[in-house]
Amino acid sequence: MTRSGTTVILSPSEVGRAAEILRCGGLVVFPTETVYGLGANAFDATACAGIFAAKQRPADNPLIVHLAGVSQLPLVARQAVPLARVLLQRFAPGPFTIILPRSQAIPDIVTAGLDGVALRIPSNQVARALLAHCEFPVAAPSANRSGRPSPTDFEAAFAHMNGRVDAIVRGPDCEIGLESTIVRLNGSYVEVLREGAVTREMLSEALQGRATLLEAHQGTAVAPDQPPPAPGTRYRHYQPHARLLAVEAAEAATALQQHRDAGTAFLVLRRGEPYGLPLTDTAVFTFDSVEHYARELYRCLRACDQRGCTTIIAELPPNDGVGRALRDRLLRAAG
């Protein structure tokens, strides 16, 4: 499909048309429960090259392939060991990605030449309806320009991708707001390559001692000359234009006192006027729960950039449950 620079906006009832565009080699942005995805037919190497161009994504950062259901596994994976089936049974459909040995039908460009392919079955109704119309798997990274926060609503997806893709399916805001949990199986080990809404606690419970869960590389900066723990992790991620300071709850009041000016925004995990400080000049975003914070994070970062904020002070949540994923994104956004 030739890209004319014109992007069609489709409603959720028009997913059949979106599937047709994908079938013809086009690019379609669509909502999922995690973030908006930028999709192409995963069997079509040329279409997938279009994803890298639209996102300006480095070629060694592989794509997650989305399936309508486990029945499509044989199309994309050579094998799914019993442990993989246990995890898929428990967490699919949902914000869960698993890396399995790829089938020959998956082109090199999708996995950046790796033997494993990352697979996810999303639960969002619009995504499911779209995938159900496709008889092929859909490669879909987040629909943002590389390095920037992922879009979690139509407006953000439109701002990133209008004019760069053939269509955008206008769906609801994303329910989770953080990218999927990614796991890789290695014998009797389950490596968490990226934290997400499927938490370590949930994974441990599902594994019931069948395998050992390995630490994720949470928020660690990887030196450019060392192999990254997972492809893509050495790149800048999730970064707003404003400088973001990620601070522990105990340090938030001090950080705020140092940056009390009109250009500062404050992201805080509690209700009401925080810390008894006069915050009249500061844009304050408060969240009722870690899940709420996760859902709103990228939207807040975008809102801060739109207001021209120069500094964002973001309180780090406790290091458990979804808090681990949120801390990971905040620490990476802080650079």
Residue whose C-alpha is closest to residue 169's, from 39, 66, 2: 39
- Contacting range for ligand AMP; rule: CB under 6 A; set: 41-49, 67-75, 116-124, 308-316: 116-124
Indicate whether 180 belongs to the interface with Mg ion (CB under 5 A).
Answer: no
200-207 and 82-91 helices, crossing angle to 10°: 130
Judged by CB under 5 A, the chain residues 31 through 70 that form the site for Mg ion are: none
Rank residues 240 and 274 by Cβ distance to ligand AMP and give the closer one.
240
- Contacting range for Mg ion; rule: CB under 5 A; set: 58-66, 142-150, 163-171, 206-214: 142-150
Q: Shortest gap between Cβ of 212 and ligand AMP (angstroms)?
A: 19
Indicate whether 168 belongs to the interface with ligand AMP (CB under 6 A).
Answer: no
Q: Shortest gap between Cβ of 184 and Mg ion (angstroms)?
A: 17
Which one among 88, 117, 174, 269 touches ligand AMP, defined by CB under 6 A?
A: 117
Which one among 166, 179, 291, 328 touches ligand AMP, defined by CB under 6 A?
A: 179
Buried b (16+ CB within 10 A) or exposed e, 216-249: bbebeeeeeeeebebbbbbeebbbbebbbbbbee
Helix (H) / strand (E) element for 217: namely none
Which one among 7, 34, 124, 142 touches Mg ion, defined by CB under 5 A?
A: 142
- Contacting range for ligand AMP; rule: CB under 6 A; set: 59-67, 216-224, 250-258, 300-308: 59-67
The rounded distance, in Å, linking the Cα atoms of 172 and 42 is 24
Using CB positions, name the residue nearest to Mg ion: 142
x/- map, 193-222, ligand AMP, by CB under 6 A: x-----------------------------
SS (H, E, C) 108-123: HHHHCCCCEEEEECCC
| Cα-Cα end-to-end distance for the chain | 37
Q: Shortest gap between Cβ of 214 and ligand AMP (angstroms)?
A: 14
Residue whose C-alpha is closest to residue 237's, from 109, 3, 58, 27: 58
Residue 204, CA distances (Å) to 92, 150, 196 in order: 16, 28, 14
DSSP alpha helices (H): ranges in 178-321? 200-207, 252-258, 290-306
Q: Shortest gap between Cβ of 96 and ligand AMP (angstroms)?
A: 12
Contact 27, 47 (CB under 8 A): yes
Beta-strand (E) ranges in 42-166? 64-66, 96-101, 116-120, 138-139
Residue 182, CA distances (Å) to 63, 141, 200 in order: 12, 13, 11
The rounded distance, in Å, linking the Cα atoms of 45 and 107 is 6
Which one among 39, 94, 95, 232 touches ligand AMP, defined by CB under 6 A?
A: 232
Which one among 111, 124, 152, 282 touches ligand AMP, defined by CB under 6 A?
A: 111
- Contacting range for ligand AMP; rule: CB under 6 A; set: 10-18, 21-29, 230-238, 282-290: 230-238
Residues that bind Mg ion (CB under 5 A): 142
Residues that bind ligand AMP (CB under 6 A): 61-64, 99, 111, 114, 116-118, 141-142, 179, 182, 193, 230-233
